[in-house]
Structure 1
Amino acid sequence: MAILDQINDDIKAAMKAREKEKLEALRGIKKVMLEAQTAKGAGEGLADEDALKIISKLAKQGSDSANIYKEQGREDLYEQEMQQVAVFESYLPEKMSDEDLTATVKEVIEQVGATSMKDMGKVMGITSKKLAGKADGKDIADKVKALLS
């Protein structure tokens, strides 16, 4: 089942169960996905990889917003944002462990033949595509920097 279809089914279930916060998060995902589908140059439908990228981006934005709310002492908004992030993350694949991330980055470094920080762009490009949705871009960049230094 495509991710968009799954979200539509979950919206119906959340409406029936009267889960207001979950429904709001799901509608947010659907809105962004529909915008991506109808964007200029978009093909037929929305591929699951693109859907995962969208959901991952929404989860990152939500957690960044939640951190800002927490810094400003707005616990009510922090809790609301974190509930939405939890809904977003339920659709994402499980994050990679640090050991798996290190192994994958080392593998790409050997594959590309990278020897210094000058090669970081090459390594990041391949690694980011390979680990889309499985690891955060910042974590990948930190690992690449550590291994190339």
Structure 2
Amino acid sequence: MTIRERILEDIKTAMKEKDNFKRDTLRLINSAIKQVEVDERVEMSDEKVLAILQTQIKRRIDSVEQYKKGGRDDLVQNEENEIKIICEYMPKQLSEDELRAEIEAIIYELGSGANIGTVMKIAKEKIGARSDGKSISDCAKKLLS
């Protein structure tokens, strides 16, 4: 079962269980997936769906920061709950040590030609949705300096 199929099934389940918050969150995610599908005229693979989910999580994290600055704790909680629901569809995230090991291996493969750009490009391809871009970038910068 693809991630998209799982999301659609979970929307149905949430409707049956009258879990409006989860239903609405999943509908927003499905809508974002459909929008990309229509705009790019492509069939959505799991990799593309994961990229969309990462973007949705990042947007919500940014919103949480803004709401905290504005003192809107009610909206902070709402966004954090949405993040939890979206994270259910993401692969297990790498720990700091695992991420460090992956990036060290990439740097070792590249040898003296390793720079942040090439390391990031290869790391994003190799690691994919198992870690966010910011974590990869921070780790790569530490290791390269």
| Contact 1:3-1:51 within 8 A present in 2 as well | yes
* 1:87 maps onto 2:88 in alignment: no
Amino acid in the other structure paired with 2:133: G
RMSD (Å), alpha carbons: 1.2
Measured after TM superposition, the shift of residue 114 of structure 1 is 3.9
* 1:35 maps onto 2:40 in alignment: no
Q: Kindly tell me: are residues 134 and 114 of structure 1, through their superposed partners in 2, closer, same or farther at Cα, counting changes over 3 Å?
A: farther
* 1:3 maps onto 2:7 in alignment: no
Amino acid in the other structure paired with 2:64: A
Unaligned runs of 5+ in 1: none
Deviations 1:67-124 (A, max 9, x none): 21122110111111111111111110111011111110010001112466xx110111
TM-score scaled by structure 2? 0.94
Unaligned runs of 5+ in 2: none
Percent identity reads 33
* 1:25 maps onto 2:21 in alignment: no
Question: How many residue pairs end up in the alignment?
Answer: 145
**1:92-131 to 2 correspondences below 5 Å:** 92-114=90-112, 119-131=115-127
Amino acid in the other structure paired with 2:9: D
Structure (1 or 2) with the greater helix fraction:
2
Q: State the 4+ residue runs in structure 1 displaced beyond 2 angstroms.
A: none
**1:46 is matched with which residue?**
44
TM-score scaled by structure 1? 0.92
**2:59 is matched with which residue?**
61
**2:132 is matched with which residue?**
136
